[in-house]
Amino acid sequence: MTSRPLKIGLSACFFHADPTRPIFKNKTLQYMEQSMGNWVMASGALPLMLPRASGSVGVPMLIEEVDGLLLQGGSDVAPRSYGSTPHKPEWLGDHERDLYEIELLNECLRVGKPVLGICRGLQLINVAFGGTLCQDLEAKRPDSQVHRDWAVYEELHHEVVFEPESRLCEFYPGNSGGRVNSIHHQAVEDLAEGLVVEARSEGDGVIEALHRPGESYLYAVQWHPEFIEPGAPDLLSPSPILHSFLSAAELARG
């Protein structure tokens, strides 16, 4: 008998109500980015976008139906979510989405289901455990390298250095680092207690990967592996990170 495919819950990206939008005027949209769905399906798992809980369907019911949670990238984490205020109006972030994702994250930890965070997902995990963020690297750390360039988007690359004995050293045997894409302007400032740094960007030390030790699998990277084509020259393969997460989901499923 063939076992069913793993079901991976994806936290939704939000487009909040906008009266000027040409479609679904003044309605909130929740969506999955296509590359993320394709990345999950490439390994034979089923990506299922998790809507915000409503009515009689609560967060525990949503999480019960999936084998793991993948926190997508997207909008800024709101400074309000870590007890700060935005230094500029455009850095207001999405507090509603933060609360929604933190609920999903906490429920997964409660029931022992694995969580993988991508870009915003890494930042959200840090905030959920009490850490803070740098609202804008260019403004706060002008000595740092460029981590986001809208003109080239995921084609902006830089080197990351693995921490000794990190899981990344296991994912990529024989390597002490590698080259990744970079599409973020926020970053971890104060690392939350209980989280462990896995990698930093070369030169400026910005945190690029982290995990939380313990029985529940909790891992996050700042780059976007779903945007990297398997076999892409000079870039870290996206496969080991996903395979580690899916293996944890299989193990948790029993």
pLDDT at 227: 98
pLDDT at 2: 57
Of 147, 184, 211, 224, the active-site residue reads: 224
Q: What are phi and psi of 197, to 5 degrees?
A: -70, 135
pLDDT at 106: 98
Of 119, 134, 184, 211, the active-site residue reads: 119
Q: Specify the pTM.
A: 0.96
pLDDT at 1: 45
Domain ranges (residues) in the chain: 7-253
Architecture (CATH level 2) of domain 7-253 = 3-Layer(aba) Sandwich (3.40)
> Mean pLDDT by 10-residue block, N- to C-terminus, for the chain (254 residues)?
86 95 94 97 97 96 98 97 95 97 98 98 98 96 94 97 96 97 98 98 97 95 96 94 98 90
**Known catalytic residue: 184?**
no
Q: Which two tokens stand for residue 197?
A: 């740094």
**Known catalytic residue: 158?**
no
pLDDT at 177: 98
**Known catalytic residue: 170?**
no
